[in-house]
Structure 1
Amino acid sequence: MNILAIDTAGKTAAVAVMRDDTLLYEMASNTGLTHSETLLPMVDTALKACGLTPAQLDLYAVTNGPGSFTGLRIGLAAVKGLAFAANTPCAGVSTMAALAYGVCGEGTVIGAQDARRGQVYWAGFDLATHARLTPDAAEPVTALETFVKECRKPLIFVGDGAALCYNTYKDQPGILPCPQPLRVLRGAGVALAGKAMWDAGTCVFPAELLPDYHRLSQAERERAEREAAQQSATN
């Protein structure tokens, strides 16, 4: 089966093409350009490099959250547009799962994306099997303390929130540093996580592909705060 994988959940845009269990092509961009500028040219280059057209794809895998609200919308809109014509199945991949599938070894991996406001989106996975150990969450970095202390070691952090986590817990026994170029979310990780969803029968058709933000947007938070303040004033 031919899989096109896309990630736009964080600062880095990534694209990969996988045929069955073989990675045919992978590309990442962290140039500072917006995902709306880079994503479709990256997809076009990837498909041409592999001699494929959208009609020959069997599955689209795309990170559907948590992550940058704008970034997620760009990736999901692109996949919906590409997949709609043939109603090709889609895998809405957890950003944290995609991060975990991009690395391997023994111990534990925590996928962590910067959620701002002193928080990270995070989840823990077994590094060897990629089995999920915690649900995705948006929490202060300090909220990871119990899991970090009790999980199987060694432990590595990956994602654009990895440095924040490592700097917080680096003095704990069994915490290993991960170089920045190896912390980024890989298109291959999205493809592998998407393939696992296909095998589990949890893929959906394009119309059913939705984001999973895990918290309110800034505009929604500000509106809720204003409404709460107005309610308090009337009372």
Structure 2
Amino acid sequence: MTILAIDTSNYALGVALLEENQVLGEYITNLKKNHSIRIMPAIQTLMQDCDRVPADLTKVVVAKGPGSYTGVRIGVTIAKTLAWSLKIPLVGVSSLEILAAGTGRYFDGYVSPLFDARRGQVYTGLYQYKNDELIQVEQDQLIMLNDWARYLIKMDKPILFVGNDLPIHQEEIAEALGTKAIYAAITEHNPRPSELALLGQFQSEEDVHSFVPNYIRLAEAEAKWLEANRKIFKGQD
């Protein structure tokens, strides 16, 4: 089994090749550059360096969000195209779950991966390793950080926070949770595409045609369009 993992759901861009129980190669950057231009050359370079061709692939695993609307769409579109054209399974994995997987394996507590969602909000969830299996304790969600902190203070174990947007919220987290909050090292904030491949290794495949990203919330433009048209439709009743 040779798995290609793709993550463009946030600023970090990552691709990896996992074959059986070995990571053949992994490429990660954390740059504010156009993923649509860089992702295919990254995949091609990784495949060439690992002496693999598209026909060798047996599964594609992609980060399905939440995250950047454009970034998530790019990764999912490319993953769907590859899976459809190569006639191989496609698996989608939560972008937050990838972060939790990369840091929580040897942590005796809960992991709260987070992405900034502006206006005091974060995309986050709660995870925990049990017997080397990553368990989702609380589902991925969009929530005000202060509300999330009030919930976490009731937990019976420390909480490990991870994500490149952590510095935006770390002061507020520290004020709310004190020593109950633990912070991942800066080397752990980039989601590892090899962890993405490992997570998707035995997960059920998606229907290539109906699979869509998990944005959790609508893009602002979409929300405004729906609100405007809701008023129009009401006027027609």
Superposition TM-score, scaled by structure 1 size: 0.88
Q: Which residue of 2 aligns with 1:121?
A: 123
Tell me if the contact between 1:15 and 1:43 (Cα under 8 Å) persists in the aligned partners: yes
Give the C-alpha shift of residue 150 in structure 1.
2.5
* Candidates 156, 169, 176, aligned match of 2:173: 169
Number of residue-to-residue matches in the alignment: 230
Instruction: Map 1:174-213; keep pairs closer than 5 Å.
Output: 174-197=180-203, 202-213=204-215
Question: 2:138 matched to 1:134?
Answer: yes
Cα 1:35–1:110 shift into 2, 3 Å: same
CA distance in 2, matches of 1:232, 1:81: 39
Q: Which residue of 1 aligns with 2:81?
A: 81
Give 2:95's aligned residue. 95
Partner of residue 220 from structure 1, selected from 197, 205, 222: 222
Cα gap change, 1:196 to 1:101, in 2 (>3 Å): farther
3-state SS of paired residue (2:15):
strand
Q: Percent identity?
A: 29
For structure 2, list consecutive stretches of 5 or more residues without a partner in the other structure.
none
Q: Is the 8 A contact 1:88 1:206 kept in 2?
A: no
User: More strand by proportion, 1 or 2?
Assistant: 2
- Secondary structure of 1:193's aligned partner: helix
Distance 1:186 1:159 in 2: 11
State the Cα distance separating 1:169 from its structure 2 match: 1.6
Q: Return the offset for 1:152.
A: 4.4
Please say if 1:8 is aligned against 2:8.
yes
> How is 1:25-174 mapped onto 2 (pairs within 5 angstroms)?
25-103=25-103, 104-105=105-106, 106-127=108-129, 129-171=133-175, 172=177, 173-174=179-180
CA contact (8 A) 1:24 1:50 kept: yes
**1:165-195 per-position Cα deviation (integer Å, ceiling 9, x unaligned):** 4322224232112233311111122112212
**What SS is found at the alignment partner of 1:208?**
coil
Mark the runs of 5 or more structure 1 residues left unpaired by the alignment. Answer: none
Deviation at 1:143, TM superposition (A): 2.1
Encode CA deviations 1:64-87: one digit per residue, 9 max, x unaligned.
Answer: 111111101110111122222222
Q: Which amino acid aligns with 2:206?
A: V
Contact 2:16/2:193 (<8 A) preserved = yes
TM-score (norm 2): 0.88
1:187-217 Cα offsets, whole Å, 9 max, x none, are 12211221241xxxx2124323321111111
Q: Is the 8 A contact 1:121 1:137 kept in 2?
A: yes
Tell me the C-alpha RMSD between the 2 structures.
Answer: 2.2
- State the SS of the aligned residue for 1:212: coil
1:114 is matched by which residue type in structure 2? D
Amino acid aligned to 1:148: L
* Distance (whole Å) between structure 2 residues aligned to residue 29 and residue 14 of structure 1: 7
User: 8-17 or 156-165: which moved more?
Assistant: 156-165
* Shift, 1:147, TM fit: 3.4
